[in-house]
Each structure stands twice: as C-alpha cells, then as structure tokens.
C-alpha cells in the first residue's frame, strides 16, 4: 500500500507522516517513510537545486522535469521494491504536488503537467492520499515560527493560495482516493483521524 501526504507549506505533512509510521509499526506492520524531492543521491541534488539554490532562477518547465526525474528514480529504486515486498510506503508528497505546484502555481498547461507527473511514477498510484487543508496565512505563520524556509516557502501569498485551491479541486475530483483533513486541529486529533482511516482500509 502506498499512502501519500499532500498540502500547502506548513500544513504538518511531515509530522503526520512520521506519526502514522510509528503507529503502524506499533501495530506490527512493516512500514517505510520517504519524501519527495529528496530521496537518494539524485533526490538530494534535485532538492538542493529546486528548493535551496537561491542564485538559480529555474524556468517552470525545467522545474517540472526535475521533480519528475526525481520521482522516476525514487519510484524505481525505492518505492516499487518495497511495495512488491509487501511493505506499506508512506510518502511526504507525490505526483499531486507536481500537478498542483507546476500546473496551478506555475501555470503550465494542466493536461501536460498531469500527464507528465503521473507518467513519472509509471504504474505506481497512491492507494490513499491525505490532504492536510489549512488556511495559507496559518501555514506560512507556522513556517516563520520554524525559521527554516525553502525557495518554495518564500513564494508570494498569492502563489500559495493558488496551491491550496488546486489541492481542493483535486480532492473534489478524486474523493475516493484523497481524504481532506482539517489541519487546523491539534496534531494528535489529526493523527487519530488519519490512523483510523488507514486501519479501516487495512483490515477491511
């Protein structure tokens, strides 16, 4: 099973992904936790180029292809082998992020972005996706509190609003896969909601 977490910056994806992994491991499941971009040597290089190198202004199309190159390698070398081995894989961001950020945010052709993003994952599709929905200003406020921001975090508020609206549209189009979660709740309440949904799926 592949479980993905999506949402705007500061919505708590990484925290919830780690909490879910811990809970499932306690239940006896074999679980791997990963993220995009950033897995492996190629992923680290791409993450640095896209998110950290402030001297490099990437063309939106180049940015799209870098994210997809990272995903293609990530799926082939990490995700697919673990899924074949019967593991649960939890991924902090997957192709929905690319569709939303490069399509809605960067305003590239939506059909092209969607096809490219999904093609980069081959036949691998998330079984469950949790969209942590949070008002943009609250998410950005959380980021400022952390004091560790990336180039993407520093985009204008209007960009992040486009991202949030893009995610909400995706969730309406694919409600069977994408579960929208109120991320303004405390972390424990969010975790219990997610854990209950996953355990129901695993045991049904």
φ, ψ for residue 134 (rounded to 5)? -145, 140
pLDDT at 141: 87
Cβ neighbours of residue 169 closer than 8 Å, sequence gap 6 or more: 104
How far apart CA 113 and CA 108 sit, in angstroms, is 7
pLDDT at 53: 84
pLDDT at 65: 98
- Name the DSSP letter for residue 127: S
Q: Give the CATH class of 2-203.
A: alpha beta
pLDDT at 116: 99
Closest CA to 3 of 200, 166, 138, 188: 200
Whole-model pTM above 0.75? yes
pLDDT at 51: 87
How far apart CA 98 and CA 69 sit, in angstroms, is 12
How far apart CA 74 and CA 66 sit, in angstroms, is 12
pLDDT at 98: 98
> Along the 204 residues of the chain, how does pLDDT read in single tens digits?
999 999 999 999 999 999 999 999 999 999 999 999 988 899 999 999 998 888 888 999 999 999 999 999 999 999 999 999 999 999 999 999 999 999 999 999 999 999 999 999 999 999 999 999 999 999 988 988 776 778 888 899 999 999 999 999 999 999 999 999 999 999 999 999 999 999 999 998
Tell me the two tokens of residue 156.
Answer: 């204008």
Q: Which residues pair with 31 in a beta bridge?
A: 88
């Amino acid at each position: 099973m592949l479980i993905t977490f999506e949402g705007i910056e500061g919505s708590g994806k990484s925290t919830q992904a780690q909490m879910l992994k811990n809970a499932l491991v306690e239940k006896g499941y074999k679980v791997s936790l990963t993220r995009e971009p950033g897995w492996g040597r190629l992923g680290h290089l791409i993450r640095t180029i896209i998110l950290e190198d402030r001297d490099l202004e990437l063309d939106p199309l180049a940015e799209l292809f870098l994210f997809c190159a990272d995903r293609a390698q990530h799926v082939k070398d990490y995700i697919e082998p673990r899924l074949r081995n019967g593991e649960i894989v939890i991924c902090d961001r997957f192709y929905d992020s690319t569709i939303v950020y490069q399509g809605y945010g960067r305003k590239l052709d939506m059909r092209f972005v969607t096809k490219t993003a999904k093609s980069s994952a081959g036949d691998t599709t998330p079984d469950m996706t949790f969209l942590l929905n949070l008002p943009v200003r609250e998410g950005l406020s959380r980021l400022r509190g952390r004091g560790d921001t990336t180039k993407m975090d520093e985009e204008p508020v209007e960009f992040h609003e486009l991202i949030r609206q893009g995610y909400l549209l995706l969730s309406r189009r694919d409600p069977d896969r994408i579960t929208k979660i109120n991320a303004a709740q405390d972390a424990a309440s969010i975790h219990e909601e997610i854990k209950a949904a996953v355990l129901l799926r695993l045991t049904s």
